[in-house]
Amino acid sequence: MELRQLGRSGVRVSRLALGTMTWGRDTDEHEAAEQLRFFLDAGGNFIDTAAVYGNGDAERVLGGFLGVMVPRDEIVIATKAGISFKNGERIVDNSRTSLIADLDRSLSHLRSEYVDLWQIHTWDQKTPLEEVLSALDYAVTTGRARHVGISNFAAWQLARSVTLQNPIFGKAPIISTQNEYSLLNRRIEGEILPASRELGVGVLSWSPLGRGVLTGKYRSGLPSDSRGASPHFSSFIEPYLDERSRKIVEAVMVASDGLGLSPLEVSLAWVR
């Protein structure tokens, strides 16, 4: 698998990352190990997780594989902080104290002294941005994170964050932004992609398969083993089961038939 430089950093990551959102919930350790082995054998080195995935279980599962299935220094681990759930309620807390506590828990779950890329999971309306960014500096200066990034920020939030984190002033530079991008969701084309190019920030596209819908698996209903049928993730899939999405999926199917490729290959090739 081809490696690419992430933003203006020296980090080289595989063009595809292995996502772990379902690990510890709908994906057990055995299935996760199979996914990781297949990914590594294909030449992948970039694994994405988050403190909130499975309430930490995704990181725990991944941590159990480090040093057993793959040496720690042969992979790039990205995790995220700032989101949690309490009594079913989604909580966003990007205060410095909360973010650093999330990071320390992540390191414990991962059984690692550092993460390669630590990201703020989403924007927090309540916490001053300067306080949020101070946690990024702390993570890098203490060796807990080698690089830092952001996730799910709007373009103006991205631009302000990158500007404040100018390395000229001794700040830890933001090397990447992670946003949803696929044939079913092209919102970032308006401002985030142009801003990222101008600012030299790498773009990580989450859910390039349209939350799995672009594979065509939902054309005839909800497969029992799919996220669409999962009590944990059905609400995540539902927005892309509408008529607009159906038409796009059918167009992908036509293209894949004509090209002799799978819908998955066509959808990923479009994003890349």
End-to-end CA distance of the chain: 13
| Residue 240 bears catalytic tag | no
Task: Match 């002294």 to its residue by tokens.
Answer: 113
Which one is catalytic: 53, 181, 218, 240? 53
Tokens of 264: 């998955």
Dihedral (CA of 78, 4, 11, 154) sign: negative
Q: Which active-site residues does the annotation give? A: 53
